[in-house]
Amino acid sequence: MSWAVEEWKEGLSPRVLQKIHELESQVDKLKKERQQRQFQLESLEAALQKQKQKVENEKNEAATLKRENQSLMELCDSLEKAKQKISHDLQVKESQVNIQSGQLNSSKKDIERLEQELKR
């Protein structure tokens, strides 16, 4: 088959044949170069898609972490309010205990005084 392709070159001068050979070599070289660049382009496109997917995954993870952080902040606020309420309730109860302790001491003194009066 290649002899048929070469048939049209018969009768051409050596100089023209040399130029045809150079052009064919150049075409082959350019075809190989184009194939290499096509492969590079496909590789770069695959790498780009992989990076885009990675960025998308990281964005999703960042959004998830942001929501989780917000939830934890709300939980911390809620716990802080509960702590403050419990602390306030404890102060109120300690105050009540102190008042009742004072009343108990006063009542004990009253009882002792009354007992002393009864003994007389």
pLDDT digits (tens, 9 = 90+) for 58-98: 999 999 999 999 999 999 999 999 999 999 999 999 999 99
Q: Give the pLDDT band (50/70/90) at residue 3.
A: low
- The pLDDT score that the predictor gives to residue 102 is 96
Quote the number of domains for the chain: 1
Question: Cβ(38)–Cβ(46) under 8 Å?
Answer: no
CA dist list (Å): 32 to 21, 26, 55: 16, 10, 34
Residues spanned by the domain of 56: 2-119
- The pLDDT score that the predictor gives to residue 11 is 87
Separation CA 103–CA 106 (nearest Å): 5
Handedness of CA 25, 27, 29, 35 (dihedral sign): negative
DSSP label at residue 8: G
- The pLDDT score that the predictor gives to residue 60 is 98
